[in-house]
Amino acid sequence: MQTTARNAAQIGAIIRRARRARRLSQMGLGGKIGLRQATISKLEKGEPATQLSTLLDVLTALNLDLVITERKRTSKEDLEDLF
């Protein structure tokens, strides 16, 4: 699976799909890495206060990597997502 995310909500949706594909509940995923179900829920909703370490722990538990690349092109919609 390779998916592009450009905002917190998109990252959350990717994590939700990956968790469900592995047949894990939010509580089950949180239990694997010592996080509460509410923390997983907030991450999946794209709430901006999520710590980077939490994101990385969740990605590790789901056997996912974070890859950062240059954008090919910036659209008006991409800029609007920032504000």
Task: Give tens-digit pLDDT for 12-60.
Answer: 999 999 999 999 999 999 999 999 999 999 999 999 888 999 999 999 9
CB 80 within 8 A of CB 51: no
38 against 74, higher pLDDT: 38
Q: Is residue 34 part of a domain?
A: yes
Q: Residue 66 is part of a domain; what is its CATH number?
A: 1.10.260.40
Structural domain boundaries enclosing 66 = 8-82
Q: Is residue 3 part of a domain?
A: no
| Degrees to nearest 5, angle at CA 40 with 80 and 1 | 70
Q: Is residue 23 part of a domain?
A: yes
| Degrees to nearest 5, angle at CA 9 with 31 and 37 | 20
Q: Is residue 31 part of a domain?
A: yes
The reported pLDDT for the residue numbered 33 is 96
Q: Is residue 19 part of a domain?
A: yes
Q: How far apart (Å, rounded) are the C-alpha atoms in residues 57 and 12?
A: 14
